[in-house]
Structure 1
């Protein structure tokens, strides 16, 4: 009973009736085509001509299903009434011809099956009511006796209510079977085509790239700021009673670093709030300010014209230097750092050096992601980066092609 009259069966019946309603305009066009050929006989008074008009209407429905916007409209109806897994259906208009043909096949099947079931739903219920009440009304029995058919006998009239109830169950069974058929066909014909799967994979890859970029931006900006603040606070604590001037400078540097980090954090989070374009991010022109706030003695030299560096390369170079200074703060203590930035023909070269600490640095459990992030940034631009010990010093070197911005 639930399979025939339950909520899902009723929803699918409504979906089929909607298909029958959608068939009517095409059926009327079919009657216009068939009537002149039939010699003036109306398809509305001739069942064979109605079937011919029905067959003529289906190609017009198939052509309508080729419109790209048809798929999201049909998918919405299936999701609302068909009881089909929403994840198995495609989103967005059908772009490829393969997808359009599949949508056209679904739409034609929907209106054809819906048209047949709608006709049954209009014709059978009144007749079943007539059969059920037939034994109880003498006037109806007289009509049945004079018809000369199966209902003209006493047994025919006695069994008429059972026949009517059987017809209702038969209609419900046909509706359930047709609904189940369409539910089975929906994922095949309205599901994602290979082109849709490729587009979805590209969108997923783009979203993953954005998340990775956000992770790098947050790691570089916040990690650098915390390292700088920790170093400045530690140095100020050691000389709190002996060098008040240095303490004031350290506190000012902490304040400036925190303020700058908040601005950068807002900039990074802006990537999540904005649909088009990126918010302004630091570049090579901001390196001098970054070096002055680090809390380290940094010998900074710049060769070439930084304004000739593309925006993307300039931004990534800033982040690489920021991460390199963070590593120097965490692992090198207060050792001086030498930073060289050279803008040459076709590439930007970053070299950062600092002496190795006298004792092994404290390493976080699982290791950090800074050097890996530097290598990823360089690789995405078509360049390369390396880091390691040379002659008792730690050296970080990155080469970024200026054409990598393309």
Structure 2
């Protein structure tokens, strides 16, 4: 063990306690074996007060029972906590939960047997060696100990008396060395026997992927909802300020739209914060076409922007669409309107929802078009919106793209009308985005 002497002494003391804990865990099994032998052969199993041979026999008979107890799932959690605290092992090296698979249980049974077996032997030595060493240390100074009833392997008289303290110190050193070796063995064996199995690592990776997917989903929803709301509110306020004296009716309409935008955005934020608070791994779908399309169009129109909305009659009632497809389609429309309001204020916007037949099946085509950028200067930093739309489409098995075609900025998405099983549960990161027609850009560019 490296480190300062006081650190090494502390580690030795903690590992000694860990071994004594193993000895304490052995006692119920030891007593059970004694009772069992007494039942099978009455009067022949006075092992606790007998010779060492019968006691070691009882000890050996305990170990199969210890191994069987180590198969209990909860044993791994308890032993991992004890080993992490008393053996000074890093938390990541040991599994933290119960053993769910039989492979993990068998490894835990092997560890439990090793811990309890070594602990039982070292606990017995810790009880027997210190008193013996004290007797040897005091032997030259206490005449009563010079009696012949003390059977030492050397003479009691003369200078040989002073070899007893040396033997006592040697016994204590041997005990400490044995404890050190046993503690080091346990510390070395703990990671392979109590560490996570491949199944544990896979489950942990799946939990991390689910958490990442939830965070990505929340990030996309925050960008889409809050970003659109702030853009709309800013443009509505600017438009109202320009006609404050000449068109009071428009100002009232803009203020009402700002109020409605703030109220709906706060409601969405409450839902997202509820997901964070409750620790859900998969947020519920946000607003859909049936519940949010009209309001987002009305808020955008309140900025003075002319918006042409066309919904294919063959789609049927929007409320009948798959909830996930409807929610993601709504985000496509919302992102397209946000881009138009931010980068091409005043330009007319066309929103189309159509049913299309494709080799993959029936698709919902969402297209948002407007004149290309009308605000001079470079595009502001950002670009997360269209990247998020591409991720949303890919998770449903669809495609999304943006292009500047002949002075018309187009954001388009093709989503399967029936969402794929498990859509939205993947990690939202590291997938392959599919290019659409046109230049197939995958980043948010200015209209």
TM-score (norm 2): 0.84
Counterparts in 2 of 1:111-260, with a 5 A limit? 111-143=116-148, 147=151, 149-260=153-264
Aligned residue in 1 for 2:428: none
The more displaced of 134-143 and 199-208 is 134-143
What aligned pairs does 1:33-112 form with structure 2 within 5 A after superposition?
A: 36=40, 40=44, 42-44=46-48, 45-112=50-117
Which residue of structure 2 lines up, in the alignment, with residue 305 of structure 1?
Answer: 317
Preserved contact between residue 4 and residue 172 of structure 1 (Cα < 8 Å): no
1:336 match:
348
Out of 386, 402, 406, the residue aligned to residue 417 of structure 2 is 402
Q: Which residue of 2 aligns with 1:318?
A: 330
Equivalent in the alignment of 1:388: 403
Q: CA RMSD in A?
A: 2.4
Change (3 A) 1:331 1:344: same
Residue of structure 2 in register with 1:375 after alignment: 390
Does the C-alpha gap of structure 1 residues 4 and 139 become closer, same or farther in structure 2, counting only changes over 3 Å?
farther
| Structure 2 CA distance for aligned equivalents of residues 147 and 390 of structure 1 | 105
Could you say if the C-alpha distance between residues 358 and 43 of structure 1 is closer, same or farther in structure 2, counting changes exceeding 3 Å?
Answer: closer
CA contact (8 A) 2:285 2:327 kept: no
Closer, same or farther: CA 352–148 of 1 in aligned 2, 3 Å: closer
In structure 2, do the counterparts of structure 1 residues 363 and 5 end up closer, same or farther at CA, with 3 Å as the change threshold? closer
Kept in 2: contact 1:339–1:350 (CA 8 A): yes
- State the shift of 1:218 in Å: 0.6
SS at match of 1:161: helix
Partner Cα distance (1:261, 1:394) in 2? 27
Q: Which residue of 1 aligns with 2:429?
A: none
- Aligned pairs for 1:268-307 (under 5 A) are 268-276=272-280, 278=283, 281-285=286-290, 286-294=292-300, 295=303, 296-302=305-311, 303=313, 304-307=316-319
Q: Is the 8 A contact 1:34 1:49 kept in 2?
A: no
Deviations 1:165-206 (A, max 9, x none): 221122122112211111111112111111111111111111
SS in 1 for 2:379: coil
> Structure 1's 156 and 204: CA in aligned 2 closer, same or farther, altered over 3 A?
same
Deviation at 1:116, TM superposition (A): 0.5
Q: Does the CA-based 8 Å contact 1:75-1:90 persist in structure 2?
A: yes
Change (3 A) 1:2 1:31: farther
User: Tell me, what secondary structure is at the counterpart of 1:334?
Assistant: coil
The CA deviation at 1:148 is 6.7
How much does 1:236 deviate?
2.4
Say which is worse superposed, 226-235 or 199-208, in terms of deviation.
226-235
Q: What's the counterpart of residue 354 of structure 1?
A: 370
Distance 2:41 2:8 in 1: 43
Count of residues paired in the alignment: 404
Q: Which deviates more from structure 2 when the two are superposed, residues 120-129 or residues 21-30? A: 21-30
**Is the contact made by 2:345 and 2:374 (CA closer than 8 Å) also made in structure 1?**
no
* SS of residue matched to 1:6: helix
CA contact (8 A) 1:4 1:176 kept: no
The 1:112–1:151 alpha-carbon spacing in structure 2 relative to 1, beyond 3 Å, is: farther
